[in-house]
Structure formats: C-alpha cells, structure tokens
Amino acid sequence: MQTKKIINDGGRAVDEMLEGVLAAHPRHLRAVAGSPRSIVAVAGPRVGKVGLVIGGGSGHEPTFLGFVGKGLADAAAIGNVFASPPPDPILECAKAVSGGAGVLFMYGNYAGDVMNFDMAAEMAAMDDIEVRTVLTTDDIASAPRDQIEKRRGVAGNFFIFKAAGAACDLLYPLEECERIARKANSRTYTMGVALSPCSLPQTRKPNFEIGADEMEIGMGIHGEPGISRGELKTADQITDEMLDRILAEMAPARGDRVAVLVNSLGSTPLMELYIMNRRVSQRLSEIGVEVHATWVGNYCTSLEMAGASVTLMHLDDEMTTMLDHPCDCAMFRAG
Amino acid sequence: MQTKKIINDGGRAVDEMLEGVLAAHPRHLRAVAGSPRSIVAVAGPRVGKVGLVIGGGSGHEPTFLGFVGKGLADAAAIGNVFASPPPDPILECAKAVSGGAGVLFMYGNYAGDVMNFDMAAEMAAMDDIEVRTVLTTDDIASAPRDQIEKRRGVAGNFFIFKAAGAACDLLYPLEECERIARKANSRTYTMGVALSPCSLPQTRKPNFEIGADEMEIGMGIHGEPGISRGELKTADQITDEMLDRILAEMAPARGDRVAVLVNSLGSTPLMELYIMNRRVSQRLSEIGVEVHATWVGNYCTSLEMAGASVTLMHLDDEMTTMLDHPCDCAMFRAG
Amino acid sequence: MIDSARLKTVFRTIASAMDTHRDRLCALDGVIGDADHGIAMTLGYSAARDAVDALDDTCDPTALLNTAAKSFLNAVGASSGPLYATAFMRAAACVKGKPVVEDADFVAMLQAMAQGMVDRGKAAVGEKTMIDAWLPASNAARTSWDETANLCESLSAAVRAANAGMEATASMVATKGRSARLGERSLGHVDPGAASAVVAIEAMREALCC
Amino acid sequence: MIDSARLKTVFRTIASAMDTHRDRLCALDGVIGDADHGIAMTLGYSAARDAVDALDDTCDPTALLNTAAKSFLNAVGASSGPLYATAFMRAAACVKGKPVVEDADFVAMLQAMAQGMVDRGKAAVGEKTMIDAWLPASNAARTSWDETANLCESLSAAVRAANAGMEATASMVATKGRSARLGERSLGHVDPGAASAVVAIEAMREALCC
Ligand SMILES: Nc1ncnc2c1ncn2[C@@H]1O[C@H](COP(=O)(O)OP(=O)(O)O)[C@@H](O)[C@H]1O
Ligand SMILES: Nc1ncnc2c1ncn2[C@@H]1O[C@H](COP(=O)(O)OP(=O)(O)O)[C@@H](O)[C@H]1O
Ligand SMILES: [Mg+2]
Ligand SMILES: [Mg+2]
Ligand SMILES: [Mg+2]
Ligand SMILES: [Mg+2]
C-alpha cells in the first residue's frame, strides 16, 4: 500500500513544488534563467557583497529555499528529495549572486553535498569566482565530540545560515563572513527525536520501520538511523534527554544567553513543540541561562516525519547582533 | 494502541502548551492575571481602539493565539482541544482589551462557540462593554449556499481576522470594524480535504477511520465528516475540485484580484502545499484573475491531521488595504 | 428528601459513570462530530463533583447547584458546558430558598434542567441532540410522579424514556450542533449528547435509589 | 570490439536492470541510509541512457561517455551522481581519440572507473561503500583478461568479485557516506551502493555477452 500524498507525479514533485513556490513568492524569489533548480533572492545579491549560496536535498522545506531573501541567503541550489543538487545548479547560483566579493557555500555536512558543492566550487574558480565553504555540523547525536567534523548539519542550519547571511548583508569581507559562519556553527547544538517515518514521493513507502510505542533518538533529517531506539517517553523526559546532551557540550555559564529553536520534523504539531519549549525554558531558567529569542515551528523538516528537535545557539554579542539583524525571506522574517 | 505524541499529560496539554507559548513570545503575548486561558497582545490594545477578541478550541495552532498581536487580534480565549472556551476567559479577554470603543468577538461558527461567546457577551454588557459578534463561515463545503449561516469557520479565519484586525488597528469605530469583518467573511471561501485522522491528547485514539487510499472532501477542522469520501486523487485533481466549487461561488470577473491561502491541516508538508499552489496559480491565471498575495503553510490546523485546504479571498481596494496592513503577532507577520 | 450530602453523591455517581463511558462517548462523537464528547462530560462532571465536594454539607442546594454549574462550565466550554451549566442553574433556581430538595422538587428540577437546555441551545425534539433524551426523560418523570409520587419510579421512567429518546436519534438527521452539516450522513448513528444524557440520568437513579 | 551503438546498449541494459532493482536498493538504503539509492540509480542511468540514445551512432566513445557522465550527474546529484559521473569521465579519458572501444579497452575502462570513484569519494576498500564492489571487480576483470584475453570471462570474474565484495560489506562498519554515523549499527546490512554496483556490472556482462 502506498503512503498518502497530495502530489501528481512523484518524479516531478520537486519541480512542481518549485513552480508553486515561485508563483507564491514572486517578490522574494526567482529562478536563474535556464536553471530552474537555482533559486535566487530578488533583493539579495548586490555588488561588493559576499554572495551566500546554500542548498541541499529537497524535503526539508522551508530549509533551504525558504531562507533565501534580503539579509539571509542569496540563493539556494535545490536537489532531488534527500539528494544533494548536482554541481550545475550550484554553479549557476554562485554566478548569479557573485558581486565580486566572493561567494560563501554553506550546507549540511553530507558526503553527497560535499562532493557536489566541491565540484561546483572548482568550476566557479575556473570562472574566477572565489568560493569559501562552511559545512554545518550541529547534530551532536551524529558523531562523538572528538569527531565533530563527521557530524551532520540539521535544524541548526537555521541559526548558522542566519548569522552568516547577516554578515554578508553587512558587507563584511569574505574572510569575516567565513569566520562568522564557522563561529556560528561551532556554537550551535541540535538533538532530534523521530516518532514515525516519512516516505519519498517516488516510492511512497515508509523510509524506515519503527514500533508503535518507540522513538528513535538522534535520527537524521533523512531518516538515517540515530543513536538509540527506545520506548516513547514524555515530553519532559525527551526534552531533558536532549538538553542534557546539548548543555553538557555547550557548558554555558550562569548569565549566558542562548537562542532556542524547537523544530518539527514535519507532522509534530505546534502544541507538542510548545510543550517541549515549556521544558526548555524551565531548564534554562534553572541554570540561570537567559533566552534571548525563541523560534518554534517547522524550520527544518523531513517531509511528513513525526518528531522534533531542539537547537540551542550559544550567543555572544556578535552572534546576538547577527541573529537580530533583519531579514526578509519567502518563508521567514526577522527584525 | 495509543497514537504517538510528545506530551506529558493529555489533560494538561493545553495549559502546558500555553506556558511554552508565553515563554517563547514574551514580547508579543501575556496571559491576563488570574486567567491563564486569556491571552492578550502586549502591544495591541489601546484606548479608543475597538478590541478584537478571537478564540475557540485548541489544536488549530497557530490559529487562534498565533494571530494575537499589534495590528491583528488583541486577545484570544483558549478552549480545550476542539472545544470552545467557556465564557469566563472570553469575558476576561474582553475586559483586558476594552479601550472604551467597544469590543468585537470573532470566531468560527460552531454551536459550542456561539453559546459560550454569547454568554460572555451578555456578561460583558453587564460590565458596560459593548460587544459585537461576527461569526466566520468560510467553509463552503459545510452547508449549501442558501444556508450560509450554517457554514463553519475554517482556515479563512486567517484572512477574515486579518481584515478586521486592520480595521481595529486603524481606529475605525465599532460599526465600521463590524462591517469590514462581515464583508471579509462574505468574500472568503475555503474548501478542504483530509487524508488521515488526528487524535486528541486525552484519548490518543484516531478521531475517525479512513481507508488507506481514501480522502474525505470537505472535512471540518475537528474531523467532522465532510461532504463525500472517495479515492485519493492527484494534487491537480484535488485542487481543481476545490477551485471549481470556490470559483463557482465567488464568480470573479477577469481582472479581479484575490488573496490565496494554501493551508496544511497539520502533517501535510510544504512540498505538497506548493504543488497545490502551482495548480491554483495556473487556474487563476487561465481565467485572468490576479493573485495579490499568497500564503502557504500551517495556518489553521487540526493537530497532526493530514490534509489541506485552499482559501481564496475576493479582494477589492478596501480588502486589499486591510490585508496589506502591517501586523506583528507571535506566529505571523505582515507588512 | 435529598440534602446536600446526597446531592454530592449524585454528582459523584454521575462523574464516575461518565468516566466509565468516556471512550464510548468519544467514539460516538467521532462518527458524527469531533470525538471529544466523552472528554467534555468527564471533565465537566469531575469538576462539578470536586467543586461541590469542597462545599460544606450545610450549604443549601441552590448554592451547591450553582457551584456545580460554574465549575462544569469553566472546565468544559464546548457545547456541553453551556447546556449543562444552564441546566444546573435552572435546577438551582427551582429550589431557591429551600434547605433541602424534596422528592417532588427533584422531579421539577429535572424539568427545569431540560427546559434550560432547550433555552440555551434552541434545539427542539427531533434535531438529534441531547434534548431528544432529556426532554422526554424529564416529561416521563413528571408523568410518573403525578401517578405514583415515587421518585424512584419516576427516575426509572425517566431512564426508559431517555433510552428510547437516545435510540430514536439514530434515525434522525441532525439539524443542530456540529453534526448538523452532515445532513443524511448523520443517519444511523446515535447522538453522543443523547447517549451521555442516558448515562447521567441512569447515574441519578443509581445514586438515589440503589 | 564495442562501438558506440553497443555502448548505448550497455547503458540501456543497466538502466533497465536498475529499474528492476529500484525498490530493493531503496529498501537497503532505508536500513542504513536515506532510502533513496534506488531512485538515484534509476534516475541516473535512465538519464544517461536517454542522453546517449539521442547521440548519433558515429559519435566517438569519449563523447558518448562524457555525455553519460554529465546527464547522470545532472539528473542525480546525491553521492552517486559525482561518483558515477567521475567514473564515466575517467572511462571517457581512457579511450580518448579511439573510434571504438576494444575489448582490452573496456577492461581498462572498468579500472579507470573504479579509480575515479576512489579519487572522488576518498573511500578505501573496507569502508562499506560501492568501492568495496567496484575495486575488486575491476581488479578481477584485469587479472582475468591478462590470463584469458576474453572480455566475457573477464566480466564474469568481475561479477563474481563484485558480489563477494558486496557481501563483505555486511560485516563492515561504515566509515564513509551517510551510514558512517551509524557506527556498529551498520553491521549486518549490505551497502546499497555496493549492491547497485553488482547490478550495474551484471548488466554490462548481459549487454556484452548474452
Ligand atoms: N444547540 C444544541 N442544543 C442541544 N444540544 C446540543 C446543541 N448543539 C450540540 N448539542 C449536543 O452537544 C453534543 C456534543 O457535545 P460536545 O461534543 O461536548 O461539544 P462540541 O460539539 O463542542 O464538541 C451533541 O451530541 C448534541 O447532543
Ligand atoms: N565517499 C564515498 N565513496 C564511495 N562511495 C560512497 C561514498 N559515500 C557514499 N558512497 C556510496 O553511496 C551510496 C549511497 O548513495 P545514494 O543513496 O545515491 O546517495 P545519498 O547518500 O546522497 O543518499 C552508499 O551506499 C555508498 O555505497
Ligand atoms: Mg539521498
Ligand atoms: Mg468539541
Ligand atoms: Mg464534540
Ligand atoms: Mg541514499
């Protein structure tokens, strides 16, 4: 039996989605002529500004394309569902947003993305576009601390892209943008939990099996298995388990400030996310950590997967400025 | 077997959600002292302004409380899941937002809400607060055209509240606010389709049964049965079926303008919504109707139900001004 | 004669009966409504029970019933909240000034309750609501009382009438409440509010006669 | 001797074999990855098939293989895209200037393909990737060719080695690709990329020898 989806043709789902996105957001987004998988901000790129190109597989909406706009990313290269885009649309993004000050590539740390973005970076270099790359690795469940370079990028992308996008918008030079992007990544910590699978539009089969009373801790945003599977716990227990790990790594001091993201993987509703946020806020206030800002909702999804993640960004003055910097994107606004 | 939810205690889910909401949005929302189910905009109410009180059952987030803020609703009274709030929290909202210019009650047309809001209106009158009531009835699937007063209010709430909220924010007198609210309601048309049930936190049982290849057309946002059940169709067929009915009622002329909302009932992801929006935009452009603005996402949900709705608001200059009016709410911004 | 202590027992018995039937009532509501009627009724009656239990036994029936009304309403909202709250307030008004509820008063209270629900919800018999159980039940209690002057006989008559009324809702097309939009599709299904009315009235008889 | 017409047949045969195995490859990827490997491989090979089919039969093998590389990559992205695209480009370079692919060239091409994948993905044998099938397969083809100078013998040897390599991945802990984060939990499961390598190499033999 196939899973239920409101689609036409699984193989055309990504392209039809993009048509629907462009129809909905003509004041924010356009496709590069001849390259429909290269989505550019109408108002983002400008001369002398570092161009920020993000991207990755589809199925994580509003990540990536929803974060394209003035003050955040200048372009997103769009892959098939859960598949890195090939080098061509990435290169077209780079060309479209290059304002002479260099281009920053940012994406989650996955083998496929690394290979495709690296190929695109080499091609861009041949076109005399200087490209720097910053991989996001915020998923603390995906590798131990001493192998941070192996970690995946997940919902924390949102904070990391936001910080880098602000730096680019402030016309910082490429080195500074890169530094801020790396710093943002190093201060961002995510843990997730999955309750039920999603299914790819082409196969319409659940992408993993999970017991009716089980949850998977640390599952990736493509349904990659996590660190352990166990009985479904209460919201407070789940949130505590996430926070225990996040806070152990972040090690905030009393009086430190953080930004909070409680993110749905797809079908977990706001009611559950806010119940989790209640616990996040209780725990942080217990240890004297101040919440500077909180975002709750669907920010980085896995199609219709059930589950949620908690991300904390450890702020300092610079990161606070970057997060507070205004942006106006198709699917997100700040400031 | 219980459905999977990230909650603590089903009976406390709404109150815990509200704690999490207030923790996340301290700059936008506060609860009335002593009345935790009465949520008020920090910046909305002011002297001489008609106070807009919306409300209804929980489980539809971001409707209702997410639309509380400067420029939209001044307060929301929060009921149990899928249950109207009782008169007390509604009355407390009315008192908190009354600035001497009267109070407008707006909510979906459900027997329970009508009884509770009417009782609250009577109590407010005893406190010398003039209350007017406008029910939303945008769900064209819920009763035939000649019984419009029987129709339910669903996702179109978003447009209708937005228009009324703008009128209130512009300091229009109560009669004008009421007129604009009624006009907005009369120009807003919604059709929905459900693919799978949700479950109440207290019972954690699916609230209806539906075949693995079926969809229900016209289902309400509380899982109330719709007008017919049939085989799951393609995105284009589903969208066409909705639009055929909506356009037949709205009867737009060539050159008319509309606002579009493609709304997820909960677990239907953005990819599917945008595929639907592609078809909406194609159909409208075929008949020469201009899309003034489009919103796509989770605006009026039924917990984790799968399904979607399409809403069109038939614009004129006045309605356009009201929709474009800026607002700054906990879970929504415009302008 | 029913004093406030016995009235508390009535609420306790109804609350526990609703608990027992919660999931069945939700399931009935799932078919033609929004699947929460069992929750509303258990919430409402347990709130009422807790609120009246907290009162002193010397408190008069009017105060007790008004307390029940207020606590039921505030716990529930929904449709059942205003309907039952209005019913309890009318029952309270009906025994105003009396230190205890006489058996005859209890029968009058039942009628006042049903009338309160009609006034609040504007439903008539035949619209597939709790009215289809409550109105015939309270009328049957009255008829039986006029013949027998026996409360338990009257309550038994009420239970029979409520059951018959509830069963009759299965062949009605809903025209009030959430299921009114279903039209013909509501046929064949019992109304959840009528079903919970039977539970409530049966529990009254149990509390007062068993 | 393999001219461009026969090379097209090779792509056609692989594409149809991938179609047959699509759901199995997705299921394998679902266990230790993201459940899309069958999709990537069918997309990639059908795009390559369509692109080379659209070329004239007089087009030289290098141009044909470069076309396959580009179309595979652009249809797929993911991990498989760059890996197979690099493999095809190396195969193309390997026969540069030749009007047709001699049997000996085909064996050399297999080795160039495997080396291209290693260069692109930086994986060594034992890291639970498609390399564990491709590298032993291409080496086995070389050894067999040196002994027999028979392409079909060589391809059979490649198929056997690919199968053995694929099976060996079940007892490896992944250290490259998406499943690398699984650690011990990847044990006991065959790598989907190694499984699709077997499908591809078997289809080559079928196209050229059956
Ligand atoms: N106007 C009305 N008059 C009398 N009873 C009504 C009316 N509307 C609804 N009801 C009753 O309320 C019941 C549903 O109650 P409940 O599920 O608690 O409320 P809601 O419909 O708000 O979810 C229906 O089964 C019906 O018996
Ligand atoms: N660095 C690498 N070198 C060689 N093969 C790799 C590498 N990374 C991944 N693979 C192969 O790719 C396969 C997965 O491909 P695919 O599912 O198409 O891509 P993705 O992981 O992007 O979803 C793995 O099973 C593995 O064989
Ligand atoms: Mg993939
Ligand atoms: Mg309800
Ligand atoms: Mg109900
Ligand atoms: Mg994969």
Considering A187, A214, A236, which residue would you say is the last residue of a domain?
A187
- Tokens at residue A272, please? 């559950």
Considering B148, B163, B187, which residue would you say is the last residue of a domain?
B187
- From chain C, pick out residues whose CB is under 8 angstroms from the CB of B111: 79, 121, 176-178, 180
- pLDDT tier, D113 (very low <50, low <70, confident <90, very high otherwise): very high
The Cα D67–Cα A102 span in angstroms is 31
- Asked whether residue A306 is domain-assigned, the answer is yes
In chain B, which residue ranges form alpha helices assigned H by DSSP? 13-24, 87-97, 111-126, 157-169, 174-186, 235-250, 270-286, 317-324
Q: Is the pLDDT of residue D14 over 90?
A: yes
Q: Between helices D192-209 and D131-148, what is the axis angle to 10°? A: 30
**Domain segments of chain D: what residues?**
4-209
- Asked whether residue B7 is domain-assigned, the answer is no
What pLDDT score does D186 carry?
Answer: 84
Residues 33-92 of A with CB under 8 A from B: 58-59, 61-62, 66
- Asked whether residue A2 is domain-assigned, the answer is no
Distances A73 to A104, A123, A165 between C-alpha atoms, Å: 10, 21, 5
Residue A52 belongs to domain with CATH number: 3.40.50.10440
Q: Is A274 on the interface with B (CB under 8 A)?
A: yes
For residue B262, the cross-strand partners are: B296, B310
Residues near C196 by beta carbon (within 8 Å), at least 6 away in sequence:
C18, C21, C25, C37, C38, C41, C80, C130
Burial of residue C50 (CB within 10 Å: 0-12, 13-18, 19+) is middle
- pLDDT tier, D177 (very low <50, low <70, confident <90, very high otherwise): confident
Q: Is the dihedral of CA A6, A8, A10, A12 positive or negative?
A: negative
ipTM of the complex: 0.96
The Cα A97–Cα A77 span in angstroms is 12
Query: Same domain, yes or no, for B39 and B96?
Result: yes
Considering A152, A171, A187, which residue would you say is the last residue of a domain?
A187
A111 CA: nearest ligand 2 atom: 8
Which residues does ligand 2 sit against, CB inside 6 Å? A 83-84, 111-112; D 29, 33-34, 36-37, 40, 78-80, 83, 117, 121-123, 129-131, 176-178, 191-194
At D130-168, the pLDDT tens digits run 999 999 999 999 999 999 999 999 999 999 999 999 999
Q: Please give the tally of structural domains in chain A.
A: 2
- Asked whether residue A333 is domain-assigned, the answer is no
Closest-CA distance, C79 to chain B, in angstroms, reads: 4
CB atoms within 10 A of CB D146: 10
Which residues does ligand 1 sit against, CB inside 6 Å? B 83-84, 111-112; C 29, 33-34, 36-37, 40, 78-80, 83, 117, 121-123, 129-131, 176-178, 191-194
What pLDDT score does C75 carry?
Answer: 97
At A206-258, the pLDDT tens digits run 999 999 999 999 988 998 888 889 999 999 999 999 999 999 999 999 999 99
The Cα B251–Cα B5 span in angstroms is 43
Query: Same domain, yes or no, for B119 and B239?
Result: no
Query: Same domain, yes or no, for B147 and B229?
Result: no
Q: Is D137 on the interface with A (CB under 8 A)?
A: no
Q: How many whole angstroms from its chain centre is CA B268?
A: 17
Of C18, C84, C122, C129, which is best to mutate to test ligand 1, by the most ligand atoms within 8 angstroms of its C-beta? C129
Question: CA angle, corner A269, sides to A265 and A274, nearest 5?
Answer: 100
Closest ligand (CA of C177): 1
- From chain C, pick out residues whose CB is under 8 angstroms from the CB of B116: 77-78, 81-82
Per-residue pLDDT in tens (0 to 9) along chain B, 335 residues: 899 999 999 999 999 999 999 999 999 999 999 999 999 999 989 999 999 999 999 999 999 999 999 999 999 999 999 999 999 999 999 999 999 999 999 999 999 999 999 999 999 999 999 999 999 999 999 999 999 999 999 999 999 999 999 999 999 999 999 999 999 999 999 999 999 999 999 999 999 999 999 999 998 899 888 888 999 999 999 999 999 999 999 999 999 999 999 999 999 999 999 999 999 999 999 999 999 999 999 999 999 999 999 999 999 999 999 999 999 999 999 98
Query: Same domain, yes or no, for A27 and A153?
Result: yes
At A89-140, the pLDDT tens digits run 999 999 999 999 999 999 999 999 999 999 999 999 999 999 999 999 999 9
Test C79 with B207 for CB contact under 8 angstroms. Answer: no
Test B150 with C182 for CB contact under 8 angstroms. Answer: no
Q: Which of A25, A28, A60, A314 is catalytic?
A: A60
- What's A47's DSSP letter? T
Q: Is C188 on the interface with B (CB under 8 A)?
A: no
Query: Which residue of B79, B81, B225 is in closest CB contact with C182?
Result: B225
- What's A84's DSSP letter? P
CB B107 within 8 A of CB B97: no
Query: Same domain, yes or no, for A218 and A145?
Result: no
- Asked whether residue B312 is domain-assigned, the answer is yes
What pLDDT score does C121 carry?
Answer: 96
Query: Same domain, yes or no, for B16 and B144?
Result: yes
Which among A62, A137, A52 has a CA at the least distance from the CA of A90?
A52
Residue bearing the CA closest to ligand 1, atom 2: C121
DSSP A140-160: TTSS-GGGGGGPPP-TTHHHH
D128 CA: nearest ligand 2 atom: 27
- Asked whether residue B140 is domain-assigned, the answer is yes
Q: Is the pLDDT of residue D179 over 90?
A: no
**Residue ranges of chain C whose pLDDT lies below 50:** none
Instruction: Give the domain range for residue A96.
Output: 12-187
CB B40 within 8 A of CB B4: no
Q: Between helices C80-94 and C192-209, what is the axis angle to 10°? A: 40
The Cα B18–Cα A68 span in angstroms is 31
The Cα D84–Cα A248 span in angstroms is 41
Q: Which of A25, A28, A222, A325 is catalytic?
A: A222
Query: Same domain, yes or no, for A173 and A278?
Result: no
Q: Is the pLDDT of residue A15 over 90?
A: yes
- From chain B, pick out residues whose CB is under 8 angstroms from the CB of A234: 7-8
Could you give the 3-state DSSP secondary structure of residue C163? helix
The Cα B246–Cα B283 span in angstroms is 12
Q: How far is the CA of B198 from the centre of ligand 1 (A)?
A: 20
Closest-CA distance, B32 to chain A, in angstroms, reads: 18
Note if B222 is an active site residue: yes
Closest-CA distance, C166 to chain B, in angstroms, reads: 20
Query: Which residue of A11, A82, A85 is in closest CB contact with D34?
Result: A82
Test mutation, A191, A242, A270, A305, chain B, max B CBs within 10 A: A270
What pLDDT score does C63 carry?
Answer: 97
Residue D55, CB half-sphere, CA atoms under 13 Å: how many?
Answer: 26
- Tokens at residue B199, please? 């479950």
Query: Which residue of D36, D120, D182 is in closest CB contact with A115?
Result: D120
Please tell me the pTM assigned to this model. 0.97
Query: Same domain, yes or no, for B81 and B100?
Result: yes
Query: Same domain, yes or no, for B91 and B159?
Result: yes
Closest ligand (CA of B302): 4
What pLDDT score does C83 carry?
Answer: 98
Q: How many whole angstroms from its chain centre is CA A258?
A: 18
Closest ligand (CA of C77): 1
At D74-109, the pLDDT tens digits run 999 999 999 999 999 999 999 999 999 999 999 999
Residue of A nearest to B5 (CA): A272
The Cα C7–Cα C5 span in angstroms is 5
Could you give the 3-state DSSP secondary structure of residue B108? strand
Yes or no: domain C4-209 corresponds to CATH 1.20.58.220: no
- Asked whether residue A7 is domain-assigned, the answer is no
Q: Which of B222, B292, B314, B325 is catalytic?
A: B222
- pLDDT tier, A72 (very low <50, low <70, confident <90, very high otherwise): very high
CB atoms within 10 A of CB A130: 16
Test mutation, C39, C74, C118, C130, chain B, max B CBs within 10 A: C39
Burial of residue D50 (CB within 10 Å: 0-12, 13-18, 19+) is middle
Residue bearing the CA closest to ligand 2, atom 7: D177
Query: Same domain, yes or no, for A23 and A134?
Result: yes
Give me the phi and psi of C129, to 5 degrees please: -135, -175
- Asked whether residue B71 is domain-assigned, the answer is yes
Query: Same domain, yes or no, for B179 and B273?
Result: no
DSSP A95-147: HHH--SS-EEEEEE--HHHHHHHHHHHHHHHHTT--EEEEEE--BTTSS-GGG
Q: Say which residue the tokens 């039937």 belong to.
A: C21
Q: Is the dihedral of CA C71, C72, C75, C78 positive or negative?
A: negative
CB C141 within 8 A of CB C111: yes
Query: Same domain, yes or no, for B175 and B46?
Result: yes
Q: How far is the CA of D194 from the centre of ligand 2 (A)?
A: 9
- From chain A, pick out residues whose CB is under 8 angstroms from the CB of B297: 298, 331
Burial of residue A288 (CB within 10 Å: 0-12, 13-18, 19+) is exposed
Note if A314 is an active site residue: no
The Cα B190–Cα A21 span in angstroms is 21
